[in-house]
Amino acid sequence: MVSIVTPFVVTQDRPQVGGIDVEVEHYTYRVLWSGDDEEFVATVAEFPSLSWLAGEQTEALSGLIALVDDVVGDMQEQGETVPVPMGERRYSGEFKVRVPESLHRELAIAAAEEGVSLNRLASRRLASA
């Protein structure tokens, strides 16, 4: 994976989510080489259907940022909900995971053998995955 930080200026008024300006540069972008396309492809996690192909990494990123800016503006004009950038969302640190009973048992035994809680064991294993 290649991470690119490049300055980009959005010239139109900023769209808002709940009265807060949306900084399209705050969305979660990635730029990767596509062997199939023989170009760099930029993607954005908050808009999984959007991508931009270009011969240069910076062109792929700047093209996608401009596209996202247009899409966010259109969404606001249409009264649609604009996604909040992932980096600006609040996370509780909790989520539920459903697993088969046999795995639950196996993990509970492993936690007991290690002298830790099931939560601590699961957290540690997720962090090292």
Q: What is the pLDDT of residues 33-54, one digit of tens each?
A: 999 999 999 999 999 999 999 9
- Residue 46's domain comprises 16-88
Report residue 5: phi and psi, to 5°: -115, 120
Residues 64 and 35 in one domain: yes
Residues 40 and 79 in one domain: yes
As for how many domains the chain has, the answer is 2
Residues 118 and 101 in one domain: yes
- The answer to whether residue 71 is domain-embedded is yes
- The enclosing domain of 82 has a CATH number of 3.30.160.250
CB 77 within 8 A of CB 67: no
In this structure, the dihedral spanned by the alpha carbons of residues 78, 27, 128 and 122, taken in order and rounded to 10 degrees, is -30
Hey, which residues does 17 pair with through a beta bridge?
20
- What is the full per-residue pLDDT of the chain (129 aa) written as tens digits? 444 444 343 334 444 544 456 799 999 999 999 999 999 999 999 999 999 999 999 999 999 999 999 999 999 999 999 999 999 999 999 989 999 999 999 999 999 999 999 999 999 999 998
Residues 42 and 104 in one domain: no
